Amino acid sequence: MVTTDNARQLSSCDDARAMLARAREEGVETVWDRLAAQQPQCGFCSLGVSCRNCSMGPCRVDPFGEGPQKGVCGADADIIVARNLGRTIAAGAAAHSDHGRDILEVFAELAKGDTSGYELRDETKLRSLAEEWGIDPDGRPLHEVARDLADSMLEEYGTAKGHLSFADRLPERRSRLWKELGITPRGIDREAVEMLHRTHMGVDNDYVNTLLHGLRTSLADGWGGSMIATELSDVMFGTPQPNVSKVNLGALRPECVNIALHGHNPMLSDVIMQAAEDPELIALAKDKGAEGINLVGLCCTGNELQMRKGIPMAGNHLMQELVLLTGALDAMVVDYQCIMPAVTDVAKCFHTEVISTADKARFAGATHISFDPHRGYAIGKDIVRRGIDAYGNRNPERVHIPGGTVEMMAGFSVEAILEALGGTPGPLVDAIKAGKIRGAVAIVGCNNPKIQQDLGHVTLARRLIENDILVLVTGCSAIANGKAGLMMPAAAELAGPGLKEVCEALGIPPVLHMGSCVDNTRILTLAAALAKYLGTDIDQLPLAGAAPEWYSEKAVSIGTYVVASGIYTVLGVQPAIFGSPNVVKLLAEDLDEVVGAKFAVEPDPERAAVLIRRHIETKREGLGLPFVDPEQLATAEAA
């Protein structure tokens, strides 16, 4: 059981610590208790050398060389580790891409005029996407253009075209490289399906070949399914623009009906947001004694809403149980991904109604309201009404909301960033060339209870901005850095002199919120645009990625497509590959010669910052820009 003594080590956030103490008082189990109960976790699985791909197994390879070195079929550690990693990538890519398909299907229905609660809100973006996809948008009604685009995008889930259209955003050199390596993604579904095929017993028994296909599978996510999700969400819900909102559990309001929107897909949350503004429902809430209806976000659904509408954020991954412990949450509406099955157990201890909405993601103990875009607005109203009803059951004596909120700025789409720069990447490139900004780093991904909550994200971001490195954040990392106060323009004070000057001139924070996890594609788009602007390839740029607290299969797919796109990436949690020294060498060394980027694993964020700074200075040197000797940098840090 979590105690107040160890709550400090579990999370670096005051609101989380307060709720952990409350969990102890109430005898409520959380993710940290369950992690403790799982100790020791399986060593074979942690190293990736266990396999249960067939019923001759399960098998495991002894990493110490004393026991069996092969599974029953003859697979060695290299094959087993590569197959497991391949399946993890496929699962992550499938999750993102299926989310993209759901958005696309609503978009297709909207184009036919068959939906309720949806609009084509960003006409400019729709027309420019159409043009990018070879569809003539000129002089045609918007719905017709949308229909053609939807058809063309739906085709990319199969292999009708042979390569994904968004890959045309790449600099020429990267496209050619992928072609030479045979890793250009052909169809979004195809690559994940092929990975499942290849990792069936007795198919792909060459670990290098399997992992190359792993790259291709992840690219079908980053330059395919996820990119479709981001771009069409912008068309339907609006392209994000900078806005200021609030973060942490203090975003809950004791005097209001509180409804949390948790998960990933903005499709339903957008109509719920509209419903929460419905005068009839506001009147109903007031009848019940509430002052109004307060929506808060959690995880990436929260990011989607915060980016576009400035809806306050209750917290990231590890806050999903703790938000229930406030006793002030009336309904938790969930769609899919990263929603712990445990939320219904915690909700049972309070009056909170958990409402599931996706037919593919059901939860024992939740009320299921099946989402249907044809009746979107009516369903949104139904859900808000249930939240208002649940408010009637709230026990005010059990309400404990840890005080205070932190302001954070969100909304940095590529369009918004370019606008802030005056329309072209030129000023950013100039600042990088002059060394005012040394480079840019994307800090992305999850929380993981194995790491003190938010410590990895925030420490790394602080070290990088102090050293004049612009930080881009998405997913749970954005929420962590928002809570730490790094995402307001005033945080420029914490940046090095060069970055500070640029941020102050533009009125932007040194850590920019670029959205949810599918929105990592905004970072790919920006990186490709910078490379094209400079007439080079992405791997030549002073860029890096980091996932200091990752837990999810989606994060593995993200890390892989980032590396395959040419961006060095540091992971803070060890992936299950260390049972195969060959696979480790491939991913952490040899890949650099293949795609111009590789992985590193470094749990200590201070050291991760040094690795990243060395990498950035090396890339600066390569571009002929003023640089600091990377070796000296390491020595200075070590001293």
Interaction site with ligand BF8 (CB under 6 A) = 264, 299-300, 316-317, 338, 445-446, 475-476, 516-517, 552, 554-555
- Angle, in degrees to the nearest 10, between helices 266-275 and 299-309: 60
Q: Taking CB under 6 A as the rule, which mask of x and - marks residues 179-218 in contact with ligand SF4?
A: ----------------------x-----------------
Beta bridge partners of 258: 294
Nearer to ligand BF8, 53 or 516 (CB): 516
Query: Judged by CB under 6 A, which of 8, 9, 34, 58 binds ligand SF4?
Result: 58
Q: In angstroms, what is the minimal distance from the CB of 565 to ligand BF8? A: 18
**Nearest residue to 323 via CA among 288, 358, 299:** 299
Nearer to ligand BF8, 174 or 317 (CB): 317
Q: In angstroms, what is the minimal distance from the CB of 516 to ligand BF8? A: 6
CA distance 509 to 511: 5
Nearer to ligand SF4, 52 or 112 (CB): 52
Indicate the burial class of 38 (C-beta count within 10 angstroms; 0-12, 13-18, 19 or more): exposed
Letter for the amino acid at 17?
Answer: R
Point out which span in 71-79, 125-133, 217-225, 274-282 binds ligand SF4 (CB under 6 A). 71-79
Q: In angstroms, what is the minimal distance from the CB of 236 to ligand BF8? A: 19
57 binds, among ligand SF4, ligand BF8, none (CB under 5 to 8 A by kind): ligand SF4
85 binds, among ligand BF8, ligand SF4, none (CB under 5 to 8 A by kind): none
Nearer to ligand SF4, 58 or 581 (CB): 58
- Three-state secondary structure along 379-410? HHHHHHHHHHHHHCCCCHHHCCCCCCCEEEEE
Q: Write the DSSP assignment of 90-130 as a string of letters.
A: HHHHHHHHHHHHHHHHHHHHHHHT--SS-----HHHHHHHH
Distances in Å between the Cα of 591 and the Cα atoms of 216, 292, 568 are 14, 55, 10
446 binds, among ligand BF8, ligand SF4, none (CB under 5 to 8 A by kind): ligand BF8
Q: In angstroms, what is the minimal distance from the CB of 203 to ligand SF4? A: 10
Q: Which two tokens stand for residue 309?
A: 């509408």
Q: In angstroms, what is the minimal distance from the CB of 59 to ligand SF4? A: 3
**Nearest residue to 326 via CA among 252, 246, 407:** 252
- Angle, in degrees to the nearest 10, between helices 520-533 and 426-434: 80
Distances in Å between the Cα of 441 and the Cα atoms of 215, 562, 569, 587 are 21, 12, 9, 20
Question: Taking every pair of C-alpha atoms in the chain, what is the biggest distance, in angstroms?
Answer: 72
Q: In angstroms, what is the minimal distance from the CB of 75 to ligand SF4? A: 4
338 binds, among ligand BF8, ligand SF4, none (CB under 5 to 8 A by kind): ligand BF8
Helix ranges (H only) for 414-491 are 414-420, 426-434, 455-466, 475-483
Nearer to ligand SF4, 120 or 201 (CB): 201
Q: In angstroms, what is the minimal distance from the CB of 50 to ligand SF4? A: 9
**Nearest residue to 524 via CA among 224, 237, 266:** 224
Q: Taking CB under 6 A as the rule, which mask of x and - marks residues 27-56 in contact with ligand SF4?
A: ------------------------xxxx-x
**Nearest residue to 99 via CA among 444, 583, 452, 557:** 557
Nearer to ligand BF8, 111 or 476 (CB): 476
Residues between 80 and 139 with contacts to ligand SF4, criterion CB under 6 A: 80
Nearer to ligand BF8, 225 or 475 (CB): 475
Nearer to ligand SF4, 85 or 149 (CB): 85
Beta bridge partners of 245: 408
Q: In angstroms, what is the minimal distance from the CB of 543 to ligand SF4? A: 38
Q: In angstroms, what is the minimal distance from the CB of 84 to ligand SF4? A: 10
Q: In angstroms, what is the minimal distance from the CB of 550 to ligand BF8? A: 7
Nearer to ligand BF8, 163 or 264 (CB): 264
Indicate the burial class of 504 (C-beta count within 10 angstroms; 0-12, 13-18, 19 or more): middle
**Applying CB under 6 A, which residues contact ligand SF4?**
51-54, 56-59, 71-73, 75, 80, 201
